[in-house]
């Protein structure tokens, strides 16, 4: 799925290599590339300083710590019960992915194929959780959950994470579904397939790339979703990012290096997920509508 589009490819012609292009370009290009380089250099240094610190025996002054050790990773693993936390993170993320796909894909199909009175209202209901700050609906939702005793449980954490995940699946899947020719479905129906058969035999096999993309993206977002999980999580239902925040927000209790070690583990986890996601889907394809223009 080359999303850069056939038109762009035709315009650019054979790939010239961006370095050569940059060398040929004027001062404006140099400013842009300089800015990018400055941003990336600072970012790399920022990440590196966390990584270096997570291996440092101690690092108070100087360019580098005096000695290195891997003890902090072992300590972080023990101190923060990382095995449990990772298990909770995994369960929450996978259940959220499963449920949001199960509910979201059929909804996206109905929205892509039908124009019905009230469609605008449904779209608004889907857009609002994406647009409003999580705290806005998170606080009343958490209040309700404390009232009915759902807060602190795994089910509660899964439920709050569904709120942003479900609309996200619908919004990502809709353009993928619009791409599928309606005639294929019509043909299947003509051969006697019911709606369920159309789904399992025709649509889902065609939608596999889109479903995978949506699944991995929801996985990444759920692992990274801090605010909502933080509001309802109890001690046994913390995900990794909430455990990390709690450790970082109460400095002095834990060694800074152990917190950094945990942050590095977290980053490795989500970077792995993102790399998997990027191999399935071109990032620019997610946000723009993927209707390919037929080049005349």
**Among residue numbers 168 through 187, which ones bind other proteins (CB under 8 A)?**
170, 182-183, 185-186
3-state SS, residue 60: coil
- Lookup: tokens for 85: 């936390």
Task: List Cα–Cα distances, 213 to 59, 147, 157, 168, 259, in angstroms.
Answer: 41, 36, 23, 11, 31
Query: Footprint of other proteins on residues 80-99 (CB under 8 A)?
Result: none
Beta bridge pairs of residue 56: 68
Nearer to other proteins, 67 or 128 (CB): 128
Contact between 58 and other proteins by CB under 8 A: the answer reads no
Nearer to other proteins, 11 or 253 (CB): 11
How far apart are CB 47 and other proteins at their closest, in Å?
A: 6
How far apart are CB 90 and other proteins at their closest, in Å?
A: 16
Query: Footprint of other proteins on residues 227-286 (CB under 8 A)?
Result: 227, 231, 241, 244-245, 248-249, 259-260, 263-264, 266-267, 270-271, 273-275, 278, 283-286
Question: In angstroms, rounded to a whole number, what is the distance separating the alpha carbons of residues 188 and 92?
Answer: 37
Nearest to 219 by CA among 263, 296, 146, 280: 280
Tokens 């889902």 belong to residue: 204
CB atoms inside a 10 Å sphere around CB 284? 11
Q: Single out the residue of 224, 254, 255, 280 in contact with other proteins (rule: CB under 8 A).
A: 224
Chain-centre distance of CA 179, in angstroms?
23
What is the DSSP code (8-state) at residue 226? -
Question: In angstroms, rounded to a whole number, what is the distance separating the alpha carbons of residues 151 and 160?
Answer: 10
How far apart are CB 28 and other proteins at their closest, in Å?
A: 8
How far apart are CB 257 and other proteins at their closest, in Å?
A: 11
Stretch that binds other proteins, among 60-68, 81-89, 90-98, 203-211 (CB under 8 A): 60-68
Nearer to other proteins, 94 or 224 (CB): 224
Task: List Cα–Cα distances, 134 to 160, 161, 232, in angstroms.
Answer: 10, 10, 12
Q: Single out the residue of 16, 98, 209, 234 in contact with other proteins (rule: CB under 8 A).
A: 16
Q: Single out the residue of 81, 90, 154, 189 in contact with other proteins (rule: CB under 8 A).
A: 189
Stretch that binds other proteins, among 67-75, 79-87, 90-98, 222-230 (CB under 8 A): 222-230
How far apart are CB 263 and other proteins at their closest, in Å?
A: 4
Query: Footprint of other proteins on residues 96-125 (CB under 8 A)?
Result: 102-104, 106-107, 109-111, 113-120, 122, 125
- Lookup: tokens for 104: 């979201």
**CB 241 within 8 Å of CB 223:** yes
Contact between 30 and other proteins by CB under 8 A: the answer reads no
E strands, 91-208, are none
Nearest to 188 by CA among 179, 176, 200, 177: 200
- Lookup: tokens for 157: 């954490």
Q: Single out the residue of 33, 94, 152, 202 in contact with other proteins (rule: CB under 8 A).
A: 33
Q: Single out the residue of 58, 66, 143, 200 in contact with other proteins (rule: CB under 8 A).
A: 143
How far apart are CB 7 and other proteins at their closest, in Å?
A: 6
């Amino acid at each position: 799925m080359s999303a850069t589009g056939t038109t762009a490819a035709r315009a650019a012609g054979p790939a010239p290599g961006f370095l050569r292009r940059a060398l040929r370009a004027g001062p404006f290009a140099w400013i842009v590339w300089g800015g990018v380089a400055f941003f990336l250099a600072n970012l790399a240094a920022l990440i590196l300083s966390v990584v270096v610190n997570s291996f440092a025996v101690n690092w108070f002054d100087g360019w580098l710590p005096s000695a290195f050790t891997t003890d902090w990773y072992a300590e972080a693993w023990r101190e923060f019960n990382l095995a449990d936390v990772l298990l909770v993170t995994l369960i929450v993320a996978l259940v959220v992915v499963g449920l949001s796909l199960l509910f979201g894909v059929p909804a996206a199909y109905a929205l892509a194929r039908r124009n019905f009175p009230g469609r605008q209202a449904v779209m608004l209901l889907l857009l609002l959780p994406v647009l409003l700050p999580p705290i806005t609906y998170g606080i009343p939702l958490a209040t309700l959950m404390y009232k009915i005793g759902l807060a602190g449980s795994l089910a509660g954490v899964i439920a709050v994470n569904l709120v942003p995940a479900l609309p996200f699946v619908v919004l990502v899947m809709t353009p993928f579904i619009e791409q599928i020719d309606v005639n294929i479905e019509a043909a299947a129906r003509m051969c006697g397939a019911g709606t369920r058969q159309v789904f399992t035999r025709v649509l889902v096999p065609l939608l596999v790339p889109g479903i995978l993309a949506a699944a991995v993206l929801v996985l990444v977002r759920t692992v990274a979703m801090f605010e909502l999980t933080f509001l309802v999580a109890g001690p046994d239902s913390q995900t990794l990012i909430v455990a990390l925040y709690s450790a970082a927000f109460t400095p002095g209790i834990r060694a800074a290096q152990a917190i950094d070690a945990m942050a590095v583990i977290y980053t490795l986890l989500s970077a792995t997920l993102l790399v998997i996601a990027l191999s399935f889907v071109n990032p620019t394809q997610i946000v723009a509508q993927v209707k390919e223009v037929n080049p005349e």
